Amino acid sequence: MTGSETSPTFRLAYVPGVTPAKWVRIWSERLPDVPLTLVDVSAAEASDVLRGGGADAGVVRLPVDRTVFSAIPLYTESTVVVVPKDHLVTAADEVSVADLADDIVFHPLDDVLEWEQLPGRPALERPATTADAIELVAAGVGLLVVPQSLARLHHRKDLTYRPLVDAPQSSVALAWPEDATTDLVEDFIGIVRGRTVNSTRGRTPPPAQPKSKRREAADARRKPTSTGRSPRSGAGGAKGGKRGKPRRRS
C-alpha cells in the first residue's frame, strides 16, 4: 500500500501487450475509495520498478527472480511471425522455424523470447525496440517473431502474422516483492484469481451491520414463548378459547 493510511492507493505496473482493463474495472467496483494507478513499463525494467517501490505489483513476463518476487503465472502466449501481407508464408495457416531459414529475422534489443538458436538469417544490426523492428518489416527488409499480443499491439494494415509452432513462448504472471505482500496486494490477487467478494480467502470481510430496532422488535414477535406457544395464540392454545368441561352421562 502506498500513500497515507487515510488515503491508500494501489499502483499496478504492466508490460507492453498486457491488457489489465478487466481487473482494473473489477477493482474500481470493489474498492471505489482506493485509486488504482497503472504504470506502463518495458519488460526489461519491470523488475527494477517493482524492486524500487515504483509499483505495488506488476503484470510482467516471466522469468522473474523468485528469491525476490512472489509470482502467480496467469497465461502463456502463442508465438507468431509478423510478415508483409504479400509474403509467401501467408499461404499457410501456421509455419515452423525451418520455413524462415531464408529470411532475415529481426531480434530487437527488447525481445522477450528466450532462444537457444535464433531463427532465420541475422540482420546486420539489432533494432532498438520491437516498434522499430515492425517498421523494418513493413519496409520489406525482414520478418519479426514476437508473442501474439505484441503483434496485435503493433498492428498495421500492411502487415499480418502467422503462428510459429515450434518457437519458444512467453508466459505472463502477476508479481510483487515477496516482503511487501500488503492487504491491497492480497485484494488484487483475489481479483486476478477470480475470487468473489464474499470469498473466505484474502482479507477479512467487514462485520455485519447491527439490525435496526424495528427489525429486532419484529424478530422478537416471531419468536416462540417460553412455553413453546406463539405469543399470538390464545391462552388455551386454540382459536376457540377455553374448552368447556365434558358432560357426564346419566
Record the cell numbers describing residue 85, joined without a space. Answer: 501481407
Examine the domain organization and report whether 91 and 150 are in the same domain.
yes
Range of the domain at 96: 79-163
Check pLDDT > 60 for residue 147.
yes
* Predicted local distance difference test score (pLDDT) of residue 197: 73
Task: Give the per-residue pLDDT at 7.
Answer: 67
130 and 72 together in one domain: no
pLDDT digit string, tens, across residues 13-64: 999 999 999 999 999 999 999 999 999 999 999 999 999 999 999 999 999 9
Whether residue 109 is contained in a domain is answered as yes
Q: Does the structure show a pLDDT above 50 at 4?
A: no
> Can you tell me the distance from the alpha carbon of 31 to that of 237, in angstroms, rounded to the nearest whole number?
54
69 burial via Cβ count (<10 Å: 0-12, 13-18, 19+): buried
Instruction: Using CA atoms of 233, 238, 241, 244 in order, give the dihedral in degrees to the nearest 10.
Output: -150
How much is the pLDDT for 248?
55
The mean pLDDT value for 62-76 works out to 97
Shared domain check, 25 and 133: no
Q: Note whether 157 and 84 are same-domain residues.
A: yes
Tens digits of residue pLDDT in 153-209: 999 999 999 999 999 999 999 999 999 999 999 999 999 999 877 664 545 444 455
Instruction: Say yes or no: 60 and 99 in one domain.
Output: no
**Domains identified in the chain, total number:** 2
pTM of the model: 0.75
Q: What pLDDT shows up at residue 235?
A: 46
CA pseudo-torsion sign 30, 35, 41, 44: negative
Amino acid at 247: R
CA proximity to 60, closest of 80, 74, 43, 78? 43
Instruction: Give the distance between the most distant pair of CA atoms in the chain.
Output: 128
Distances (CA, A) of 67 to 60, 75, 171, 175, 178: 16, 21, 19, 12, 8
The residue to which cell 527494477 is assigned: 48
Q: Are residues 61 and 183 in the same domain?
A: yes
Q: What CATH number is attached to the domain comprising 139?
A: 3.40.190.10
% of the chain with per-residue pLDDT over 70: 76
Categorize the per-residue pLDDT at 229 as very low, low, confident or very high, splitting at 50, 70 and 90: low
